[in-house]
A and B are shown apart, each in its own frame.
Chain A
Amino acid sequence: MSAQFRQDFAVIANWIPFGAKVLDLGCEDGSLLKFLERSLEVKSYGIEKDDIHWLNTLKQGLNVIQMDLESGLSGFESQSFDVVVLSQTLQAMRNTEKIVQEMLRVGKEAIVTFPNFGYWRHRIQLIQGQMPVSKALPYAWYNTPNIHLCTIKDFDEFCIQHKIGIKERLILTHGKPIHIMPNLLGALAMYRLVSK
């Protein structure tokens, strides 16, 4: 959710073909879409609920639709996008299952990124008896929008249970890929998903 924590842009761009049609759910100020438009000449649309974010996205000259993701993507035809992105918003959604299913209905592929709650720094804070606060999770327990935090292991299981195929998975800490014990050492989880 934090604006500074955007090391994921380059990876997302790697997973999106040149000229693709991209839908960014919860696009905030449109930074990712602007980045993708510049680097990949994608045809893009953002969805944003917040007035200020919405306006900032419009100011970037991007297409932005104001709506609440919690109500699903009923205004979008099935398989009408090449890629649907949900960048560090999953953990703040109430209807988590529904939105992932909707992403894979509307998009041929989905990219989901989220802060790994199993990251060792988070675990240490919990062992010390407090709710984790970090760069990736900068909120206190009482004002956090993050209501559905999960670990990498949790999300892997979620995909199995919901018959979602993981095309690629990349775990990052400080922008560097983590291959050993990712659920412990990884701060940010990135998934490239397809329907099974």
Chain B
Amino acid sequence: MGEKNSVGIVKAKLAHFTKPLKLTSGKKLPSYELAYETYGKLNAKKNNAVLICHALSGNHHVAGRYKKDDKYPGWWDNLIGPGKPLDTQRFFVIGVNNLGGCHGSSGSKSIHPKTKKPWGSDFPIVTVEDWVNAQKALMDELGIKTLAAVIGGSLGGMQAIQWALSFPKHIRHAIVIAAAPNLTAQNVAFNEVARQAIITDPDFYNGNYYRYKKKPKCGLRIARMLGHITYLSDDAMGIKFGRKLKNKKIEYSFGVNFEMESYLHHQGDKFAEEFDANTYLRMTRALDYFDPAKDYQGNLSKAFKKVEAEFLVVSFTSDWRFSPQRSKEIVKALLDNELTVSYAEVTAKHGHDAFLMMDPHYRSILTTYFKKISDQL
């Protein structure tokens, strides 16, 4: 089977939904598809399912490899597998690509059922609530009435929160990592710069670049580089790159001089090749709009009144994009409602990206918590 503790070779699946999805914006998706993967087995009671929600640039390929020689496994492979914190010998794990995504689920890039052309700019703006509604439809399809847990980091953590709000009876545990109850103005500002980089790219064509066989790569590249700066802490960047020079000397040019630049360019180029700009726009907007307290005069505790799920909230000390303070707001709202909650503030130097790295303590936290969930099955 190759790699130790790996779920091994996996295959993506596609679910079709013909029941229209009513969106928060008031629009309707007449039909849609969701790409997903599963690992492990659904037990007879169908109560061991765990849904993984992805963040901005993630997808449904969470663990394992498609082919033996794939360079990288799924994006949260260090969490999921036999004997790993989220043990696939105990749990049935589901990864799903969200609506508006570009990895197989319906989005701007996919073909409009009527026009038979890419949706492009016509694909509606979707919200975290819409995603969770679509995920619920997928759970219904898979015969899962109640999820043992929903877990996610960053934007994924927001989906875990939304599950507890939208379907309080259908989720037993929410694991909310490096998330926030809404974005700060600074966060919205970062997103807007990223969007402007894309929208003002001459190859954007108002979101209909597919027609012209073009891609707004410059814009997407800048958006991704900006993102990467905010996912790392100043310290982590200092440790990893410092002022190291690419060719050991100052070049007196605007080409790559510093290692830091080289890293950013590499990340930006790779992303601009693989990712879809329309998806990036929509994902950042979903982040901006998420704000469960908005219908309760900004009172998150009131918004959480209907929550029944048990929560594990985790933040990282050096995460300045979704700071521990923001996680504490979530914890407070849960405490105010006398809900079951534990909160860990993990000492980590990697900034927001720490949620994807399994430092030993972070790993122990998740292992312990999933054992608790498993004991309740």
Contact = CB atoms under 8 A, between A and B. Distances in A.
B3 interface: no
Interface stretch (A50-58, A120-128, A164-172): A50-58
Interface residues of B, number: 19
Instruction: For chain A, give the interface size range.
Output: 10 to 19
A67 interface: yes
Interface string A133-161: 00000000000000000000000000000
B372 A61 contact: yes
B364 A66 contact: no
A63 interface: yes
Interface stretch (B119-127, B251-259, B332-340): B332-340
A65 interface: yes
A2 B59 CA distance: 49
Contacts of B361: 51, 55
Interface in A16-51: 21, 43, 45, 51
A76 B334 CA distance: 10
A111 to B, nearest CB: 20
Contacts of A75: 328, 331-332, 335
A66 B335 contact: no
B344 interface: yes
B347 interface: yes
B46 to A, nearest CB: 24
A37 to B, nearest CB: 12
Contact of A66 (B336, B340, B345, B372): B345
Contacts of B365: 55, 58
B338 A43 contact: yes
Contact of A77 (B328, B336, B372): B336
Nearest to B376: A61
Given A75-B328, A75-B335, A77-B336, A65 B364 contact: no
Given A67-B343, A67-B345, 14 more contacts: A43-B338, A45-B335, A51-B361, A54-B344, A55-B361, A55-B365, A58-B368, A63-B341, A64-B343, A65-B343, A66-B344, A66-B345, A76-B335, A80-B336
Interface of A: 21, 43, 45, 51, 54-55, 58-59, 61-67, 75-77, 80
Minimum-distance CB pairs A-B, first 6: A65-B343, A75-B332, A66-B345, A66-B344, A64-B342, A58-B368
